Structure 1
Amino acid sequence: MTHPSLQGAQGAITDVAGIEVGHYTETRRPTGCSVVIARDGAVGGVDVRGAAPGTRETELLHPSNFVERVHAVMLSGGSAWGLDAASGAARWLEEQGVGFDIGVGRLPLVPAAVLFDLHVGDARVRPDAAAGYAACAAATRTHPAEGCVGAGTGATVGKLFGMQYAMKSGIGTASLRVDGITVGALVACNAVGDVVDPDTGRPLAGARTEDGTQLRDMRRALLRGELPGALLGGSNTTIGVIATDAVLTKPQAQRLAVVGHDGLARAINPVHTQMDGDTLFALATGAAGRTPDLVVLATMAAEAVARATVRAALAARSITTAEGLHLPGYAG
Structure 2
Amino acid sequence: MHDDITDIPGIRVGHDTNLEAGTGCTVVLCDTAAIGGVDVRGGAPATRETDLLHPLHLVEEVHAIVLTGGSAFGLDSASGVMRYLEERTIGLDVGVATVPIVPAAAIFDLPFGSATVRPDAAAGYRACEQASGGPIAQGNVGGGTGATVGKQTGPLLAMKGGIGSASSRLPDGTLVGALVVVNALGNIIDRDTRQIIAGARDPLGVGILPANPFGNTTIAVIATSAALSKEHCNKVAQMAHDGMAQVIQPAHTMFDGDTVFALALGPQSQTRPDPAFAAQYVSMVGAAAADTLARAILKAIRYASDLHGIPAASSMTR
Identify the residue that residue 255 of structure 2 maps to in structure 1. Answer: 275
> Do residues 293 (structure 1) and 281 (structure 2) align?
yes
* CA deviations over 1:158-205 (Å, ceiling 9, x no partner): 112322221011000000001210000000000111111123321111
* CA deviations over 1:272-292 (Å, ceiling 9, x no partner): 122221111000001598977
Q: What is the distance in 1 between the residues matched to 2:126 and 2:256?
A: 27
Identify the residue that residue 306 of structure 2 maps to in structure 1. Answer: 318
Compute the displacement of 1:209 (Å).
1.5
Question: Any conservation in 1 of the 2:19–2:145 contact (CA below 8 Å)?
Answer: no
Question: Any conservation in 1 of the 2:69–2:119 contact (CA below 8 Å)?
Answer: yes
Equivalent of 1:244 in 224, 231, 239: 224
Equivalent of 1:132 in 120, 124, 129: 124
Q: What is the distance in 2 between the residues matched to 1:165 and 1:212?
A: 10
Identify the residue that residue 6 of structure 1 maps to in structure 2. Answer: none
Identify the residue that residue 134 of structure 2 maps to in structure 1. Answer: 142
Question: Any conservation in 2 of the 1:186–1:305 contact (CA below 8 Å)?
Answer: yes
Moved over 3 A (4+): 287-292
Q: Which runs of 5+ in 1 are unaligned?
A: 1-8, 223-227, 229-233, 321-325
One-letter amino acid of the structure 2 residue matched with residue 135 of structure 1: A
Give identity over the alignment, percent: 51
Identify the residue that residue 237 of structure 2 maps to in structure 1. Answer: 257
Identify the residue that residue 5 of structure 1 maps to in structure 2. Answer: none
Q: What is the distance in 1 between the residues matched to 2:263 and 2:205?
A: 40
Name the CA shift for 1:288/1:13 in 2 (closer, same or farther; >3 Å): farther
Q: What is the distance in 2 between the residues matched to 1:295 and 1:275?
A: 29
Q: What is the distance in 2 between the residues matched to 1:180 and 1:314?
A: 28
Q: Which runs of 5+ in 2 are unaligned?
A: none
Deviates more, 1:197-206 or 1:146-155: 197-206
> Do residues 99 (structure 1) and 87 (structure 2) align?
no
TM-score, normalised to structure 2's length? Answer: 0.92
In the TM superposition, 1:1-332 aligns within 5 A as 11-178=3-170, 179-218=172-211, 237-287=217-267, 293-320=281-308, 326-332=309-315
Compute the displacement of 1:211 (Å).
2.4
Q: What is the distance in 1 between the residues matched to 2:135 and 2:124?
A: 19
TM-score, normalised to structure 1's length? Answer: 0.88
Question: Any conservation in 2 of the 1:245–1:288 contact (CA below 8 Å)?
Answer: no
Q: What is the distance in 2 between the residues matched to 1:211 and 1:17?
A: 49
Q: Tell me the SS of whatever aligns to 1:72.
A: strand
One-letter amino acid of the structure 1 residue matched with residue 301 of structure 2: A
Deviates more, 1:267-276 or 1:246-255: 267-276
Deviates more, 1:199-208 or 1:37-46: 199-208
* CA deviations over 1:193-232 (Å, ceiling 9, x no partner): 111112332111111122235222427xx6xxxxx8xxxx
One-letter amino acid of the structure 1 residue matched with residue 300 of structure 2: A
Q: What is the distance in 2 between the residues matched to 1:194 and 1:10?
A: 27
* CA deviations over 1:62-88 (Å, ceiling 9, x no partner): 101000111000010000100000000
Matched residues, number: 306
Deviates more, 1:142-151 or 1:266-275: 266-275
